[in-house]
Amino acid sequence: MKRSEFLRDYDTISDLMDFCWRNDCDVTENITSADGFNEWINDCLVDWARNYSWDELYSMLSQFNDIEGYDYYQYDDSYGEYRPLDDSDFNDLRDEILEWADDQGDFWDPEDDDEDEEEADCWDQWAEDPDSELGSDDEEFEIPDEEDCSMLDMLSAGVGCIRSINEAALEQARQEDRLFMEFTEIPF
C-alpha cells in the first residue's frame, strides 16, 4: 500500500483500527467501540457493586453520562478509565500510525512517479501553449453538433411519454379488474 492510498482511503477510526489489526500495529489496541465500552461497564458493575456503597456506585455511573454517545473510546492507562474519541483524536491516531509505519522501514510501497510525470508533462505543455488542449496527442475530442430541438419540444416529448405510460398502466388496471370480476362471478 502506498502512503497516499492510506491517507486517501483510511478516513474513519474504524478504518484505522482495521489497518492496525491487519498490520500488527499497536497504536489502536486500547481503542474500543461503543459496544465494547458498554461491555466493559457491564463487566465492572458486579465488582463495583460488591466493593462500593450505592451512593458511590451512583456517583461512578453518573460520570459516564458526560461521555455517552460517542462511537469510539480509548482506555487511558494513567487514569484507568475510558475517554471518548472525536475528530481531532482521529487525526492524532492517523499521525501516530503514519509515524509507526515510517519507523518500520520499507513499509509503504513506492509512489508511482509515472503518473506524476504524465501530469507534469501535461501542465508543461499547457504552460507553453495555454490555448492547446490538455491531454495526450492521440486523444481526439469532438464537440457534438447541436441538434435543432427546443426546450418546448423536449418538454412536450417528456409529457407525451408520461401520458402514454399512464394510459397503458390505466388500461392494464382495467383489464385486471375485468378478469377479477369474471373470476369472482359465481353462477347460481
Render pLDDT for 6-18 as a digit per residue (tens, 0 to 9).
Answer: 888 888 999 999 9
pLDDT above 90 covers a percentage of the chain that reads 10
pLDDT on residue 120: 58
DSSP 3-state of 142:
coil
Length of the chain: 188
pLDDT on residue 162: 86
DSSP 3-state of 74:
strand
Of 61-65, 79-83, 92-96, 124-128, where does mean pLDDT reach its minimum? Answer: 124-128
pLDDT on residue 125: 63
Q: Domain segments of the chain: what residues?
A: 3-112, 148-188
pLDDT at 122 over 80: no
pLDDT on residue 45: 85
Question: Which comes out higher in pLDDT, residue 125 or 165?
Answer: 165
* Whole-prediction pTM: 0.53
Cβ atoms of 67 and 75 within 8 Å: the answer is no
Query: Taking the mean position of all CA atoms in its chain, how far away is CA 4?
Result: 18
Q: How many CB atoms lie within 10 A of CB 133?
A: 10
Cβ atoms of 108 and 101 within 8 Å: the answer is yes
Radius of gyration of the chain (CA): 33
